[in-house]
Amino acid sequence: MEHRKLGRTGPRVSALGLGLMGMSDFYGPADEAESLSTILAAMDAGVTLLDSGDFYGVGHNEALLGRALKGRRRDDAVVSLKFGALRDPAGGFIGYDNRPKSVKNFLAYSLQRLGLDHVDIYRPSRLDPEVPIEDTLGAIADLRDAGFVRHIGLSEVGAATLRRAAAAQPIADLQIEYSLLSRGVEDTILPVARELGIGVTAYGVLSRGLIAGSWTPPAAGRFDFRAMSPRFQGDNLRRNAALAEALRALAAARGLTPAQMAIAWVASRGPDIVPVVGARRRDRLVEALGAAAVVLSADDLAAVEAVVPKGAAAGDRYPAAQMAFLDSERPA
């Protein structure tokens, strides 16, 4: 497995990361034993970057990751953890809290659930409009100085916040949605991240299954976050599915699956970018690992651009209420 360094100050991580979110939340029921086997298989294959959040399954995701890491060499994992999203006992989202004392409290509980003495990258999942970013980062820096955190990361913030953050603390990476269907990051955020020496961990590389052609609507009574997402609805869904079909045909001609083409495309955007793929099963993981070895030629990239041009996606990437919390979507 190739490795990439996250930004000027961040850790070296596998060129492909594994995102654990869907193993606990958002995408309908997951098979716990298969989730665990998938994490272990990823580590066996050399994947070091493992991404989680304390609110994924309200602690479930951390406990799962903790079980996977038991008996493993701690240095074989780069644990990336998000905090700040607040849930109620019914699973509802009730806001964000990035106050310094809350940051420290969140990490105390997270380390217990993970069974670890430190996390490698700790990041607020969203900007808290009530709390200056410098205060939040200062709290993480205290945790870092005390040995509970190795590096500071960010998630879904825009260029102006990146600049404020980088002026306050060394930032390893920005985690942000980046895929063939989500290319907004290219205009301002990516150039500024590069200028500041901040790496990018790209999520939603498969557009949550949409560009991989693997999403099907949930059965009645089953919760799937995507069913509420504009890209997965009505005419938007039909148009996006047509893009996925065009990518599938192109990938097949190259002996690849659409998921592999989509992952390789993100990886091709620069050595400072690490795709984090949300595989919940070992067969999906094996497919993603296959993509890590794919290098797309200039002709391949031009062909991809022709079938899925920038801006081709129909619909916003989140429902309106959640778009409002995306600092990354505010005008620069």
Ligand X SMILES: NC(=O)c1ccc[n+]([C@@H]2O[C@H](COP(=O)([O-])OP(=O)(O)OC[C@H]3O[C@@H](n4cnc5c(N)ncnc54)[C@H](OP(=O)(O)O)[C@@H]3O)[C@@H](O)[C@H]2O)c1
Our CB check for ligand X shows the closer of 61 and 102 to be: 61
- Taking the complex as a whole, the smallest distance from the CB of residue 292 to ligand X amounts, in Å, to 12
Query: What minimum distance in Å lies between the beta carbon of 6 and ligand X?
Result: 14
Nearer Cβ to ligand X (144/280): 280
The dihedral sign for the CA sequence 95, 98, 99, 103: positive
Q: Can you say how many angstroms the Cα of residue 172 is from the centroid of all Cα atoms in its chain? A: 14
CA distance 161 to 260: 32
First-to-last C-alpha distance (Å) of the chain: 36
C-beta separation of 294 from 251 below 8 A: no
Three-state secondary-structure class, residue 35: helix
Shortest Å distance, C-beta 88 to ligand X = 20
Active site residue 96: no
Name residue 120's amino acid.
D
Q: Between residues 51 and 54, which has the closer beta carbon with respect to ligand X?
A: 51
Of 140 and 279, which has the nearer Cβ to ligand X?
279
- Candidate list 27, 56, 203, 318, residue with the active-site label: 56
Structure tokens at 63: 């406990």
Q: In this complex, which beta carbon is closest to ligand X, that of residue 216 or of residue 298? A: 216
If the CB atoms of residues 299 and 307 are measured against ligand X, the closer one turns out to be: 307
User: How far apart are CB 141 and ligand X at their closest, in Å?
Assistant: 20
Interface residue list for ligand X (CB under 6 A): 19-22, 27, 51, 125, 155-156, 175, 203-209, 212, 214, 259, 276-281, 284, 287-288
Residue 160: phi and psi, rounded to 5, are -65, -40
List C-alpha distances in Å: 92 to 20, 85, 97.
19, 10, 15
Beta strand 12-14 pairing with 3-5: antiparallel
Instruction: Look up residue 12 and give its two tokens.
Output: 């070296």
Which of residues 170 and 213 has its CB atom nearest to ligand X in the complex?
213
Distance, in Å, from the CA atom of 6 to the CA atom of 200, rounded to the nearest integer, reads 7
Q: Which of 167, 122, 112 lies closest to 142 in space, CA to CA?
A: 122
How far is the C-alpha of 38 from the C-alpha of 9, rounded, in Å?
29
Is there a contact between 174 and 157 (Cβ–Cβ < 8 Å)?
Answer: yes
Strand, helix or coil at 151?
A: strand
What gap in Å lies between CA 212 and CA 205, rounded to an integer?
Answer: 9
Spatial CB neighbours of 42, under 8 Å, sequence gap ≥ 6 = 18, 50, 279, 285, 289
Minimum separation from the CB atom of position 159 to ligand X (A): 17
**Cα–Cα distance for residue pair 22/232, rounded to 1 Å:** 17
Give least dist CB 65 to ligand X, A. Answer: 10
> How far apart are CB 191 and ligand X at their closest, in Å?
20
Residues marked active site are found at 56
